[in-house]
Amino acid sequence: MKHIFIKNDTTHPTLVLFHGTGGDEYDLVSIANAIDDKASILSLRGAVNENGLNRFFKRIKPGVFDEEDLKKRTLDIIAFLKEHIKTYNLDETNIIALGYSNGANIISSILMHEPSLFSGALLHHPMVPYKHMEVPPLHKKNIFMAAGENDPICDKDDPIKLELLFKEAGARVTLKWYYQGHQLTELEVRDAKVWYDAHSN
């Protein structure tokens, strides 16, 4: 998978970044730096091309996911991450995922398939990735979620359902609401940093 790796202070977490639809591996680097400018960064480019737009998995139509492809891509990314944790000699106990929209949704799917990969996650404008899927135990996982009261793409019920799913699996979830549609706003990033400083080592 196309990606970038920026090595930094190894006593800080590694932030693994997943962009939104139409983005690339550089999109979230400035946000990652705003949250922790000492964290190493591993940022992936989605391998699906939807009419020229990078994505991490296919969709049938906006908001309706190709769940078979989502599972396939999730397993591909899990294999990629396991390989590159070794390649880049990362502390596998201190990896936090950060994703926006499509990127947030692939992170949720990874947590549901291989929870041990991430010690925590920051999900900006996430949706529920699968209509019916058991969530494995997520004890001690810290998850920050930012959702839009007036998000035209993510139904308001989705972040609430996702929060419940993760909490029922034992995760500690912080869900915050914003009023800027589907945008990833500066306020969200400021709140994400406050959460990160309180929940990362």
Q: Where are the strands (E) in 90-156, listed by range? A: 95-100, 120-124, 142-148
Determine if 52 is a binding residue for ligand MLT (CB under 6 A): no
Task: Return the range that interacts with ligand MLT (CB under 6 A); candidates 9-17, 101-109, 164-172, 185-193.
Answer: 101-109
Question: Sign of dihedral through CA atoms 80, 84, 82, 125?
Answer: negative
Give the 3-state secondary structure of residue 149: coil
Q: In this structure, what token pair is assigned to residue 70?
A: 């989502």
Q: How far is the CB of 156 from ligand MLT (least distance, A)?
A: 14
Determine if 45 is a binding residue for ligand MLT (CB under 6 A): no
Determine if 74 is a binding residue for ligand MLT (CB under 6 A): no
Give the one residue of 54, 74, 94, 102 binding ligand MLT; rule: CB under 6 A.
Answer: 102
Residue 116 falls in the annotated catalytic set:
no
C-alpha dist (Å) from residue 125 to 146, 152, 161, 162:
6, 11, 13, 11
- The one catalytic residue in 101, 108, 109, 119 is 101
Residue 84 falls in the annotated catalytic set:
no
> So which residues are the catalytic ones?
101, 151, 182
